[in-house]
Structure 1
Amino acid sequence: MSAEALLQAARTAGLTLATAESCTGGMVSAALTDIAGSSDVFERGFVTYSNAAKREMLGVKEQTLIVHGAVSEDVASEMADGALARSHASLAVSITGIAGPGGSEHKPEGRVCFGLARLGRVTKTETVEFGALGRAEVRHAACAYALALLLKAAST
């Protein structure tokens, strides 16, 4: 999956993009902005690594963080919705997960939750268990997965 294909699909569909990234730390935004001319499609990216950043920049509710934890589909949904609401984009992806090392019995290393918000549609979420691949590999896998989610959404 190439970021270039995503940008072209978004152009064709008349969509603009925003990202809300935690564990990937801006990797999706970087993949998009590595391509010359991406500014007509890529609107903005939010790197919200801390819970405070998720609350302040994206409007994630404190209660959601307390009840579900930062690595949850509930938070991923609020992150994606917040990115859409706080940008001029029409399609947003969010990523929150445990890249490692570490994790716990309930939230293992390699668990990443994604949110996908699009104007006029219901926000979708999903969790992917990439496994204990190591920090760099989990982050790269999550970035590629987020780009693929955006491409699929831009093509439908």
Structure 2
Amino acid sequence: MSGSAPSGPGSDGGSGHDAAALVALATRLGVTVGTAESLTGGAVASEIVTVAGASSCFEGAVVSYSHAAKERVLGVSHELLERVGAVDAEVAEAMARGARTALGVDWSVSTTGVAGPEPHDGHPVGTVFVGVSGPTGDFSQRLTLTGDRAGIRAATVARAIDILTTQIAFTANA
């Protein structure tokens, strides 16, 4: 399931699956979820746990803001981080895979990117990668978002939850 798909400029998360839909689906299917967050700093996990009943499927989160934490806690390769930096599809997938292992969950979602106010590692503000790791493999999606730091982070949270829910639903219906 590895791959990436761009989303257009100005993507703001739009409508899609919210945290309540994620919790309902995961609970119905009996699967567990977790997060690996850099750009969002725990905001995806926070959004999930606002839903009553989240404890039926949500196991936990790893906030890995630094390269060292990505390596140490999530097992992201030092060589990969040196070669591409943290803002990359492969890194997003490795983060999600590492969280799946660290948290012992069926599904994990990760966020990494540039919220601003300045570009980072040659990537413009608004470049974001969301990774998903599940029983059938890993997937990543590149987002190109606009807005200020808070808006980019909020849109990333919404999109990460939607992407994870979509992947779980797709696999369940395959």
TM norm structure 1: 0.94
Q: Which has the higher contact order (CA 8 A, sep 6+)?
A: 2
SS at match of 2:154: helix
2:126 aligned with 1:82: no
In 1, are the aligned partners of 2:40 and 2:156 still within 8 Å (CA)? yes
1:139 equivalenced with 2:153 (yes/no): yes
The letter for the 1-side match of 2:44 is V
Is this contact kept in 1: 2:64–2:70, CA < 8 A? Answer: yes
Percent identity among equivalent residues? 36
In the alignment, does 2:90 pair up with 1:106? Answer: no
Measured after TM superposition, the shift of residue 19 of structure 1 is 0.3
Q: Tell me if 1:130 matches 2:145.
A: yes
Task: Return the alpha-carbon distance in structure 1 between the equivalents of residues 23 and 43 of structure 2.
Answer: 15
Q: Which amino acid aligns with 2:145?
A: F
Equivalences for 1:8-87 in 2 at 5 Å? 8-87=24-103
DSSP-derived class of the 1:18 partner: strand
Map of 2:6 onto structure 1: none
**RMSD (CA atoms):** 1.2
The structure 1 segments of at least 4 consecutive aligned residues displaced by more than 3 Å after TM superposition are: none
Between the aligned partners of 1:104 and 1:154, the Cα distance in structure 2 is 31
TM-score by length of 2: 0.85
Q: Give the gaps of 5 or more residues in structure 2.
A: 1-16
Number of aligned residue pairs: give it.
154
State how far apart, in whole Å, the 2-side matches of 1:122 and 1:101 are.
33
Structure 1: gaps spanning 5 or more residues: none
1:150 aligns with 2:164: yes
